[in-house]
Structure formats: C-alpha cells, structure tokens
C-alpha cells in the first residue's frame, strides 16, 4: 500500500563512529608476542580463579581487543563496477562495493552520504518537535583500505583539528584454529570483542577450494550460552556427531553437536584438566574412544572412555615428555596421534623465537608420567610451532605452523631410520593452525597482527607448494562503514558493506550519537537492519525523511530502498525504487515539504521523483537533469554527493570524475531545481588545480558554506558562500584538514 506522505518537516543532525577490533587472549600461562611473532610463555596462573585474558601464545590481552583490520575493498565481493572507480556504467547483475582498481588514494572504493535535510540552511534540529541537543561540528566517515582504519571523526567548523574519533566493533577480531573433517567441512575458531569467542562452520570449504570470503560461514556458534571465551584448537572429528573446542580463555574444553547453531550451550564441558592450567589443542582417537589434550604447562592429559565418561572425572593419565628421566616440555600447543604414536609441538618461552620443539612419543595408549621421547626436534626455524598435523602413509609428513618465524614447515619420515627430517619450508605470515583434508589438501590459518590480513590458505599436500590452491579471507559481516545520517532523536544510522557470503550490507544504529563528546567505540552488530529480507547488497547513502522513513541507496542492487527507520533486524523494505534510470545511484536528498526526491546518478545526471513517497517511485523519475556548461555541453561524469537547498531552490552536487585522475573532481551549483529538466546550464562549477578536488564523494551544506569529503586527496574541505558563485571557479578551499580517505561528511549545528 502506498505510504501517505506527512508534511512534517525537520532537519537532520549528524555525527559519528568507526571500526576496530581487538585482540583477545587467554588466562593461563602468561605469554607475550615479540616483534617476530608469537612466542609462548610459561608463567602459570591459578586455575581455580576466574580466567583472565592473557593468550599463552601471544602474551597479549585476548585478540578480542586488538583493532581489526578487515575492511574489504568492495571490489573483492562483487563484479559490479564502482562508478567512482570508473566512468563506465555499473553492471546491474551483481553487487559492487568499491573501486575496482584497489587504489585507495585516487579512487573511491566505497562511499556514501548521509546528508540530512537542511532545507533553508538550517542544520540545528527538528523544527517541529523542538529538536535535539547535539554537539556542533562536522563529522566525516573515514574509509581507507582495511576495516581497522575506518573511523568517524568530528571536526570543528573551522576544520582545525579532530575533536572526537569513534571506532566500530564487528563480531570477529581474529581467526584462530581451523579443524577439517573428512568431508572437507571446516570448523573455524575465532576471537571476538569483549573477551568472547566463537566457532564458524563452513560447509565443504576444503575439498575443492576456490578463492572467496569466509564471512560468517553457514553457521556460527557464539554467545553467552556457549561459554566460549578464547577458543583455540578445534577437533572436527570428535565422538560421533560432535566436535571439540579447546578454550584456553575459559581453561576448559567443550563438546558441541555437529549441527549446533547460534547461542547454544555445549553438550558438555570438561573443566578438570588435571595438572594443566589450560589446554591449547586436543586430538580424539575414535577407535580407542580416547581424547588427548595438549596442556600449556607442557603435559598431555589423556581421557579414556570419553563418550561415556565425558571427562567429568578428570584425566585418566598424564604424559610428560622427557629425556633421560627429565621433563623437557614447556608449553605444548599442537597435538596429533596416529597408530598409538603421539606427536606434539612445544612453543617454549615467549621471549625466545628459537626454542620451539617437536616431540614424537611411542605407545601413547599406555604412556603415563615421564615418558621418554622417541625423537626430539629442535633448532632451525622452530620458535613458536603453534600447531601440527600429520599425514600418514608410505611417505609420512608432519606439517608445522611456525608462527614466530612465518613458515609452514614440512618434516618427512625417513623410511630407513624412521626419524623425521626437514623437508620443506613455505613462507606464510603468522600461521596459526594447519589441518589436512582427506590426505590431499592442507588448510592453514594465517593470523598476523590486526585483522584485515587474517585468512585461510589451501595448499597442496603432501609437499606444500609456493602457490596456494585458494585463499579465504574476510571474516565477519561488516567490511567497511559507509554513510551516516542522524535522526532528530539524536540516534545515528550508518550503512555498511559486508561479504556477499554473509548477506551483503546493511545499516546499524547508534543510540544518542549526536550527544557523543569523547572518543570511544560502538558495536556494528548489536542493533542493525541486516539479513535476508532487507536485500541490501552494497549500500551507499542513507537519508531520513519524515522522521521515520530511511532511504537506503543500494549501489549493488541498483535501486533505492525505503525502510521504517524504527524497525531493526531482518525486515523487508516498505518499498523499492527500481526504476531509477537504468544506472546505479550514489546519493539522494529529499525535500519533505514537496515530497520530492533528488537522486545523484553515477552516469553524471540527476533524476527527480515528484510525489516520491506518495508514488514510491512507480513509473520512474519525473525528470532527468543533465548538467551542462554555458555552451550546452554535458559536464557531468559520475555524480556522488547531493544537497537540495529549499531556501534558494538550488541543487548542489559533487562529481568524482574518473578514478584515474585525482584532480578532475567538481562541484556543480544548479539553480531553479524544482523545475529543471533536460540539459541545464549550471550556475557555477568549482574545479581545477587550486581546488584539490579529485574524488569529492560527499557534501554537506549549512545554508552558506559547503563541506566536502574529498576522498582521493584525503581531505575534508569547506567552500564558503557557494550560492553566490557564478561560472567557472578554480578556487582554493576556504578551510581544509587532512582526513584519511573520507567517505561522507555531515553537519551538526549549534543548538
């Protein structure tokens, strides 16, 4: 049913937020991460006390507080062409979220505006309801390459210095271990913000690997009921229909049902770890119904009759690697068992990147207490061997994830001596875990500092090759923030891009954003419009109309969606403008006094919808405006930011031009907007070498002065008195400040 337009008018306030993720750790043995990578520590803690957040491999607070670096460039998730990155018309058959060139300094990779309605030059609040007290200033969203560096920053009107920076938290901080079953299904443990973690299930990840994004997989197990704090090793092949997670942060290990999903409690939890403060990894031997757990104190805990006893009585045996009756293990991590032979990795001391060890122990089914090792491997690149995997056969290989020295190391058993010998090293940045798939492929997780570079690699076994079979990256559902708009209530709405695998993009809400006065962070996943039903692919601009109608300009879907801004979750749009000229739009501005929608299109033209919310876009645009020069030659290339000023009946629009140029951006001032149609000579155009305009992706207007988010040249600019300008204007900005790849710009006026 068509929406009945309400004539209530208000102007929008706007401030901000942005993206970060945090590294989390575990409460067991103290561990610190050196400059060369993680190294394991050996300072024990009291296992009877609540776990803290020290990761025994990294020695850092859990990766749940480490800034995430995963903003993905939209080009990695879609085949469409970003009009900022190209002058060609976007492909309408698939989502696109950015600059296909990957150039973070010269091309707009992901952009949007949240220009609120500032009709008549007012930006101070809702003139009907009395408005909201907001802190005055100019807000810019920053969207450089990588998610961790996205931010929302508030500047004073003179653009003299940043005043407030807000960061945004997604649901993933870092990738940890990957366990793969015989079907090629992967269980991926991850750290998350606020000292919690989870496990992602990805169906058939590894049998026929192809490049792609992990997103949040087919299912994700996370939440308070799971009890997961800092999950590390995952045993994908647990007792029938289950998998086992070693949770170092909780100092226990948990058993989940294979089909679990969401915030579910484990089937059972083993908290009695014997003499070990925590375990890093586990291995289950099905035919013996025995679970082996690698303790971070250098001891192996063995649980017999595991399916029935469920480990509730504690370990039945403890194996301590020894040589000549002396314990030689320090901080066990990786573990594997085959034919009653036990294989272990030991990361040693956190401050030493050369003291890693590997142990081979025979008769694991009966071993107890101090046990003489058959082989002890030291030296070479062994510093922090955080995980191991065995590929048995005529040629038996032992794969080692050597994190401190950035390598996957292969040791091969000598058929004559039965001892393992160094076979091959492959450079891999901070490998965290290794898993063999059906004896053919090797899956390696890579966990460097930050989050953007976290990934999984599929390598050919038995001998790893320098060229991976496939690369999987981009965990989580939020890749980058886009546009910002603030309601009269002071709440903010922020659009975001996300992996197509995880459902595409959406918009999240921040309560009382306009009152934000200090640096901080906010969650991008706690309260958001996102899921299957919104069908948001790659959102750019957001715009609020009539207080509760949220326009979402969906560049990826090539439409404009309208939502009830008071609803959150997996909600369908109230309407979709699908007839928008056959080309993707980037931004809109709405005049609620006349129910007219102005659309900035990426083919250099403006579309105008009269009776926009009355007709909901049916029949397409009422008029199309083509900006021209005084010789009637079209000058529009790739329009982005747009603002309609009702007081002067003027439209101001930005043009990013070609992505290949950082100097061809422009601002057009078009008079008589309410009746303009066809070829329309602009009143004024701001462009040229003095302007520093390359990719002006967004604009905001205070009734006299224009603020510009100049992404290619990393500036927020102010041009004063733009309505008085006439003709060609190659002028310098009245004020400007360096801002990392600003994506959108908004104004909050003084109350």
Give the number of other Cβ atoms within 10 Å of residue 734's Cβ.
Answer: 15
Pairing relationship of beta strands 455-460 and 231-235 according to DSSP bridges: unpaired
Q: Cβ contacts of residue 597 below 8 Å, gap of 6+?
A: 551, 560, 588, 589, 590, 591, 608, 609, 612
> What DSSP character marks residue 5?
P
Pair 446, 426: CB distance under 8 Å: no
Residue 487: per-residue pLDDT: 81
Residue 57: per-residue pLDDT: 45
Record the tokens describing residue 145, joined without a space.
């390459």
Task: With residue 614 as reference, give the H or E element that holds it.
Answer: helix 612-615
Residue 126: per-residue pLDDT: 33
Secondary structure of 598-609 in the HEC alphabet?
Answer: EEEECCCCEEEE
Pair 72, 147: CB distance under 8 Å: yes
The residue written with tokens 């994004």 in the block is 213
Among 321, 287, 320, smallest CA distance to 304 is for: 287
Query: Environment class of residue 189 by beta-carbon count within 10 Å: exposed (0-12), middle (13-18) or buried (19+)?
Result: buried
Whole-number Å distance between alpha carbons of 413 and 396? 6
User: What are the respective helix, strand and coil percentages of the chain, to the nearest 5?
Assistant: 5, 40, 55
Whole-number Å distance between alpha carbons of 668 and 11? 23
Mean pLDDT per 10-residue interval, the chain, length 751 residues: 32 31 30 33 32 40 32 31 38 32 34 36 34 76 83 92 89 93 91 92 86 90 96 95 97 97 97 97 97 98 97 97 98 97 94 94 97 97 96 92 96 96 93 83 89 88 84 90 86 90 89 88 91 95 90 97 93 96 97 97 98 96 97 97 98 93 96 98 98 97 97 97 98 97 88 69
pLDDT tens figures, 506-534? 999 988 888 898 999 888 999 999 999 99
Q: Cβ contacts of residue 179 below 8 Å, gap of 6+?
A: 186, 187, 188, 233, 234, 235, 236, 237, 243, 435
Among 647, 665, 679, smallest CA distance to 713 is for: 665
Q: Report CA dihedral (320, 321, 322, 328) to the nearest 10 degrees.
A: -100
What residues pair up with 735 in beta bridges, in sequence order? 718
Give the number of other Cβ atoms within 10 Å of residue 663's Cβ.
Answer: 16
Q: Cβ contacts of residue 69 below 8 Å, gap of 6+?
A: 21, 146, 147, 148, 149, 450, 451, 452, 453
Q: Cβ contacts of residue 598 below 8 Å, gap of 6+?
A: 588, 589, 590, 591, 606, 607, 608, 642, 644, 651, 673
Phi/psi region, residue 418 (left: phi>0; alpha: psi -120 to 50; beta: rest), is: left
Query: Environment class of residue 695 by beta-carbon count within 10 Å: exposed (0-12), middle (13-18) or buried (19+)?
Result: buried
Residue 745: per-residue pLDDT: 94
Question: Where are the extended beta strands (E) located within 328-373?
Answer: 332-338, 341-346, 357-361, 369-372
**What domains can you pick out in the chain, each with its CATH number?**
130-169+477-748 (2.120.10.30), 174-475 (2.120.10.30)
Residue 502: per-residue pLDDT: 83
Whole-number Å distance between alpha carbons of 668 and 636? 9
Phi/psi region, residue 679 (left: phi>0; alpha: psi -120 to 50; beta: rest), is: beta
pTM above threshold 0.85: no
Q: Cβ contacts of residue 682 below 8 Å, gap of 6+?
A: 627, 628, 629, 635, 668, 669, 670
How many alpha carbons lie under 13 Å from residue 317 in its C-beta half-sphere? Answer: 18
């Amino acid at each position: 049913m068509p929406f009945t337009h309400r004539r209530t008018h208000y102007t929008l306030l706007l401030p901000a937020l942005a993206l970060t993720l945090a590294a989390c750790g575990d409460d067991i043995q103290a561990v610190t991460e050196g400059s060369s990578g993680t190294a394991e520590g050996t300072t024990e803690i009291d296992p009877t006390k609540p776990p803290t957040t020290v990761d025994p491999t990294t020695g850092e607070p859990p990766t749940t507080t480490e800034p995430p670096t995963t903003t993905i460039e939209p080009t990695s998730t879609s085949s469409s062409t970003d009009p900022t990155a190209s002058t060609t018309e976007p492909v309408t058959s698939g989502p696109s979220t950015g600059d296909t060139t990957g150039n973070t300094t010269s091309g707009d990779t992901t952009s949007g505006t949240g220009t609120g309605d500032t009709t008549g030059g007012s930006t101070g609040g809702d003139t009907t309801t009395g408005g909201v007290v907001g802190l005055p200033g100019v807000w810019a969203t920053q969207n450089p390459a990588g998610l961790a560096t996205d931010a929302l920053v508030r500047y004073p009107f003179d653009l003299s210095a940043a005043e407030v920076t807000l960061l945004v938290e997604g649901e993933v901080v870092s990738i940890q271990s990957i366990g793969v079953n015989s079907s090629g299904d992967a269980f991926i443990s991850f750290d998350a913000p606020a000292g919690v973690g989870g496990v992602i299930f990805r169906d058939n990840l590894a049998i026929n690997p192809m490049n792609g994004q992990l997103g949040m997989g087919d299912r994700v197990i996370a939440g308070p009921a799971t009890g997961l704090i800092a999950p590390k090793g995952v045993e994908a092949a647990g007792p029938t229909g289950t998998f086992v997670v070693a949770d170092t942060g909780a100092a226990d290990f948990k058993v989940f049902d294979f089909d679990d999903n969401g915030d579910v409690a484990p089937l059972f939890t083993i908290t009695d770890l014997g003499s070990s403060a925590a375990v890093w990894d586990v291995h289950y031997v099905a035919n013996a119904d025995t679970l082996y757990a690698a303790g971070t104190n250098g001891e192996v805990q063995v649980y017999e009759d595991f399916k029935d006893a469920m480990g509730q009585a504690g370990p039945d045996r403890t194996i301590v690697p020894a040589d000549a009756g002396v314990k030689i293990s320090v901080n066990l991590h990786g573990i594997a068992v085959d034919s009653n032979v036990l294989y272990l990795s030991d990361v040693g001391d956190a401050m030493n990147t050369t003291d890693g060890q590997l142990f081979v122990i025979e008769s694991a089914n009966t071993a107890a207490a101090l046990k003489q090792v058959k082989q002890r491997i030291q030296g070479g690149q062994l510093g922090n061997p955080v995980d191991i995997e065995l590929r048995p056969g005529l040629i038996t290989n032992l794969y080692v994830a050597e994190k401190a020295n950035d390598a996957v190391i292969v040791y091969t058993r000598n058929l004559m001596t039965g001892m393992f010998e160094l076979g091959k090293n492959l450079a891999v940045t901070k490998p965290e875990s290794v898993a063999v798939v059906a004896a053919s492929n090797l899956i390696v997780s890579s966990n460097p500092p930050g989050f953007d570079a976290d990934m999984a690699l599929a390598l050919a076994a038995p001998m790893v090759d320098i060229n991976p079979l496939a690369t999987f990256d981009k965990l989580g559902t939020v890749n980058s923030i886009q546009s910002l708009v603030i309601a009269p209530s002071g709440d903010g709405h922020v659009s975001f891009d996300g992996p197509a695998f995880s459902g595409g993009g959406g918009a999240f809400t921040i309560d009382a954003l306009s009152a934000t006065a200090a640096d901080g962070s906010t969650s991008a996943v706690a309260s958001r419009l996102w899921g299957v039903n919104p069908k948001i692919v790659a959102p750019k601009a957001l715009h609020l109309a009539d207080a509760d109608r949220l326009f979402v300009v969906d560049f990826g879907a090539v439409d404009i969606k309208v939502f009830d801004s008071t609803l959150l979750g997996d909600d369908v749009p109230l309407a979709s403008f699908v007839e928008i000229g056959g080309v993707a739009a980037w931004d809109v501005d709405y005049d609620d006094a006349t129910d007219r929608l102005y659309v900035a299109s990426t083919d250099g033209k403006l579309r105008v919808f009269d009776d926009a919310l009355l007709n909901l876009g049916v029949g397409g645009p009422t008029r199309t405006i083509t900006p021209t020069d005084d010789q009637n030659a079209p000058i529009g290339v790739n329009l982005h930011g747009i603002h309609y000023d009702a007081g002067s009946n003027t439209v101001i629009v930005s043009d990013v031009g070609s992505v290949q140029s950082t100097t061809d951006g422009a601002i057009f001032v078009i008079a008589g907007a309410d009746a303009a149609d066809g070829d329309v000579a602009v009143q004024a155009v701001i462009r040229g070498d003095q302007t520093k305009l390359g990719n002006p992706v967004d604009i905001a207007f205070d009734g006299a002065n224009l603020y510009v988010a100049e992404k290619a040249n990393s500036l927020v600019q102010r041009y004063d008195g733009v309505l008085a300008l006439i003709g060609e204007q190659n002028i310098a900005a009245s004020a400007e400040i360096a801002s990392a790849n600003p994506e959108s710009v908004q104004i909050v006026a003084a109350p």
